[in-house]
Amino acid sequence: MEYDHILIRYGELALKGKNMKNFIGQLRRNLQSVLKSFTNIKIKRSQGRMYILLNGEDPEPIIAECQKVFGIYSLSLAIKVDNNETSIKEGALFALSTQHHAHTFKVAVRRVDKSFPTGSQEMNQILGGYLLKHTENLTVDVHHPDTEIKVEIRNEGTFITAAVYQGAGGLPVGTAGKSLLMLSGGIDSPVAGYLMMKRGVQLEMIHFHSPPFTSERAKQKVMELTEVLTNFGGSIRVHLVPFTALQQEIFRTIPERYAMTVMRRVMLQISEKVCARENIKAMVTGESLGQVASQTLGSMNVINEVTNYPVLRPLVSFDKEDIIRYSRQIGTYDISIRPYEDCCTVFVPKSPATNPTRSVIHQCELKADFQPLITEAIEDIEIITIEQKSSTQTGEDFTDLL
């Protein structure tokens, strides 16, 4: 006997009423995309559940992939048997036998198929007795068991599971529409993107680069960060904005201490135009309140003035330590800390204004007209789609060498 199914339990999306159908369809598509390298599997839906039919595939790597997919509350390896007592007994014994660490167990039977002759309470006792008789050194503990043997008798068959694996929670990516993440290459923005994805948002990236002040390496870093994030929700488009000319113009016309603020305003204007063009509803930044000069409430107030699109800041209340912890967990930290100049670090004024006001900035901007350069930058945007790589691929294709 061996496990032939992975059972997937939905998170809160099971509560979502009329939208539920969309949510489940999206989750299924996301799973299919993540698991495309496992060619034998089949994903099936059933009431309130999803199943992956393993068809002989090794379950461990599949579970590991599924644990990254948002919208899954938990997963279990399951064995499917016919709806008769003998088969169910054997299946339950098999499931228990895979739990090497367990000293105590509990049986929990759910009878969804009411045509099954034995009630769930009675089945609990029958199975408990059978398992005790056929194992050694195991006892029943109904309150704090080391493992719980769950038996669901459904119309299509009986599913028996033992261990429960935690899912990533959240909502399936794509169910909440699109947002544009301003991705600099630092530690914060990928984490912000991750948290939005967790709420079902599909991301597109916008990155401002200023060659030759920023290097090819900085761009590569952004691509790699994006690639990590594709692990959580499929391919992502990156809008690369050529920013050199604008940045030079800003620092030529605006007093040094306000240049950073103005630069942010320009970035946000460009982002808004990209949103409008791509039918994206909101922007996301990795700003955390008070972290640096441009992330004070005063700065946010001035910067935010240029757009009436929602600017979502999921990290606004986070401590740096918490952001770093997330960043390590999702695997972006080691990429983020690579020391390449990005557009925000190239022209850092010695003492940026920490509390600019709208009126002062308006005064500064009177002397300049960025619109032609903004239009030009938008026209010259390069769009690159980063595909999700399966766990067996190594990014760029070096297969002829490796």
Q: Which is nearer to other proteins, 146 or 341 (CB)?
A: 341
340 binds other proteins (CB under 8 A): yes
321 binds other proteins (CB under 8 A): no
334 binds other proteins (CB under 8 A): yes
Kindly state the smallest distance separating residue 395's Cβ from other proteins, in Å: 6
216 binds other proteins (CB under 8 A): yes
Kindly state the smallest distance separating residue 397's Cβ from other proteins, in Å: 9
Asked if 377 and 273 count as a contact pair (C-beta separation under 8 A), the reply is no
**Strand 202-209 vs strand 382-386: parallel, antiparallel, or unpaired?**
unpaired
Q: Which is nearer to other proteins, 278 or 341 (CB)?
A: 341
Asked if 310 and 336 count as a contact pair (C-beta separation under 8 A), the reply is no
Kindly state the smallest distance separating residue 383's Cβ from other proteins, in Å: 20
Q: Which is nearer to other proteins, 317 or 392 (CB)?
A: 392
- Spatial distance between the Cα atoms of 117 and 97, rounded to a whole number of angstroms: 27
**Which one of residues 22, 215, 244, 291 is an interface residue with other proteins (CB under 8 A)?**
215
**Tokens found for residue 131:** 């398992």
Asked if 142 and 104 count as a contact pair (C-beta separation under 8 A), the reply is no
394 binds other proteins (CB under 8 A): yes
Looking at residue 380, what DSSP letter applies? T
Q: Which is nearer to other proteins, 305 or 334 (CB)?
A: 334
On the 0-12 / 13-18 / 19+ scale of CB atoms within 10 A, 6 is buried
Those residues whose C-beta lies under 8 Å from the C-beta of residue 397, and which sit 6 or more positions away, are: none
**Which one of residues 22, 98, 120, 220 is an interface residue with other proteins (CB under 8 A)?**
220
What part of residues 156-175 is at the interface with other proteins (CB under 8 A)?
none
**Which one of residues 44, 103, 217, 320 is an interface residue with other proteins (CB under 8 A)?**
217
What part of residues 352-391 is at the interface with other proteins (CB under 8 A)?
391
Q: Which is nearer to other proteins, 215 or 304 (CB)?
A: 215
58 binds other proteins (CB under 8 A): no
Please give the torsion angle defined by the CA atoms of residues 291, 293, 294 and 295, in that order, rounded to the nearest 10 degrees.
Answer: 30
What part of residues 269-288 is at the interface with other proteins (CB under 8 A)?
none
- Spatial distance between the Cα atoms of 367 and 361, rounded to a whole number of angstroms: 11
Those residues whose C-beta lies under 8 Å from the C-beta of residue 132, and which sit 6 or more positions away, are: 138, 139, 140
**Which one of residues 117, 119, 211, 395 is an interface residue with other proteins (CB under 8 A)?**
395
Q: Quick one: which H or E segment has residue 375? A: helix 371-379
**Residues at the interface with other proteins (CB under 8 A):** 215-217, 220, 334, 340, 391-392, 394-396, 398, 400-402
